[in-house]
Amino acid sequence: MRRRNRIWLAPLIPFFILAVIAFLSFIVMSLWNAILSPVLHITVINFWQALGILVLSKILFGGFPGGWRGRHHYNYQWRRDMLSKWKTMTTEDKEKFKQEWRDRCKGIIREEADQRTNQV
């Protein structure tokens, strides 16, 4: 019964999204004009320029889901598998594993140290 009562909300979702975007653009415009214009002597911007700044900042700093970074930032399945594998390892296996990774990373650390000494 409750779902039938809420069905009228579905067409309002795009309007709500547009209202939030418009509100955020208004906030960006107001803050820009109130703070940056008097302090840094930057020209005043209008609503559409504020919207453009908002979109540009989202592209540069926030990204989009499924975009360049993809939807999964961390592979949680890999982490669970590795933790369960680590729990079943013996202490000798753990030390061997640690030593293998130390050997793998030694070359990288050495190269970075060499680059730092060459820069000085």
Q: Report d(CA 10, CA 3) in Å as an integer.
A: 11
Q: Report d(CA 71, CA 50) in Å as an integer.
A: 28
Q: Is the pLDDT of residue 51 over 70?
A: yes
The pLDDT, as a whole number, for residue 80 is: 85
Domain that holds residue 27: 1-64
In this structure, are 20 and 53 located in the same domain?
yes
Task: Provide the pLDDT confidence category of residue 15 given band limits of 50, 70 and 90.
Answer: very high
User: What percent of the chain stands above pLDDT 90?
Assistant: 32
The pLDDT, as a whole number, for residue 75 is: 64
Q: Which of 20, 48, 64 is the last residue of a domain?
A: 64
In this structure, are 60 and 78 located in the same domain?
no
In this structure, are 53 and 77 located in the same domain?
no
Distances from the Cα of 17 to the Cαs of 98, 99, 100, 106, in angstroms?
50, 53, 52, 51
* One-letter identity of residue 111: E
pTM score = 0.49
Contacts of 71 (CB under 8 A, 6+ apart): 65
Q: Is the pLDDT of residue 106 over 90?
A: no
